[in-house]
Chains A and B, each alone.
Chain A
Amino acid sequence: MIVQKTIDMTRPAALYLAAIAVLILAVFIEGRLGVRLVSRGMHLPLQRTLAAGFILTSVAAGLLGAHRYAARVKAPWRVPSSQVHLSAFAFFVLGASAVLLSS
């Protein structure tokens, strides 16, 4: 009996890396090149602190996603794909929110 012990994670991994590249590119364009990605009409109290909190939470979610990704590649029958996908989704949403808040 043939048992498949590995799982093809090439496509999700490419998606995660593309999301990370998009976020890093957005930060570079906004911070170093001075291009505003959103209008300047948004002024919230403690906006910078809020953006920093979003960034740290996003990094935590991303690291959790990378950990779950490695665990799923190692033993896909123990780690459901939702643990990886939801962590990656939280990383991207929180990171994009932080980029928009910091503009």
Chain B
Amino acid sequence: MTHPTATLIAGGVLLFGAAGLANLYLPKPAAVIELTKASEVTAPQVAAFPKRSPALAVSRPIQPPVANTLPMVFSATDRAVQSATSDPLKSLPVKAAGPPATVNSKSTTTRTTSSLLADSTQRPLAPQRPNTVPTAAVPATAPPLDADQYALSATLGDRAWIRVGDHRTIMAKVGDSIPGLGKVTAVGTNILTLQNGQTLKVTP
């Protein structure tokens, strides 16, 4: 095959084969950036973080953290656990969410986002106080949860809904990185496989 055009065709064919096989079997660019854990932050990174100027601190005092009143995503199991608790904040009726099958069968919306926002606007404003919160009193980042705190709620296609410590439900798909667990490599029927070989199964 000494003809130049035939050689060009053969080279293109081989290039297509190599590119196609590489597309199939080589890792693709990460779609989700790995979150940096608080324990991995180094001192130079902390020093390089921009400080608050004193003038800004005087004009806009630091407010202490308040409880989040926005509706969170809960599964039906979470709602049952929350209704059993006596905490008034957790006993608020929330919107049930989850995979489409769960939503269609068990969703009972009793309070919407607009009603919660209306409550927050009708609440009287708290008086502004001077900056009395010392820097050292800023709460540190919560420690990462154990692997036992994660439970697989449902799977649908290549997506999976994972309940984190009975507080919230996150959705992950193949290629996503879950902080504390690792990268999701495969999602099957009622099973999720992580990059470290660990698997999560749907608990009935």
Contact = CB atoms under 8 A, between A and B. Distances in A.
Interface of A: 9, 13, 16-17, 20-21, 23-24, 27-28, 30-32, 34, 40, 43, 48, 51-52, 55-56, 58-59, 62-63, 65-67, 69-70, 73-74, 91, 95, 98-99, 102
Given A27-B23, A66-B13, A17 B8 contact: yes
B6 interface: yes
B48 interface: no
Contacts, number: 97
Size class of B's contact patch? 20 to 34
Interface string B1-21: 111011111101111110111
B12 A17 contact: yes
Contact of B24 (A20, A52, A59): A52
Contact of B16 (A34, A59, A67): A59
Contacts of B16: 20, 23-24, 27, 55, 58-59, 62, 95
A28 B19 contact: yes
Nearest to A13: B5
A62 B23 contact: no
Contacts of B20: 23, 27, 51-52, 55, 95, 98-99, 102
Contacts of B2: 70
B24 A69 contact: no
B2 to A, nearest CB: 7
Contact of A69 (B3, B12, B28): B3
B20 to A, nearest CB: 4
Contact of B9 (A48, A69, A74): A69
A91 B10 CA distance: 11
Nearest to A48: B24
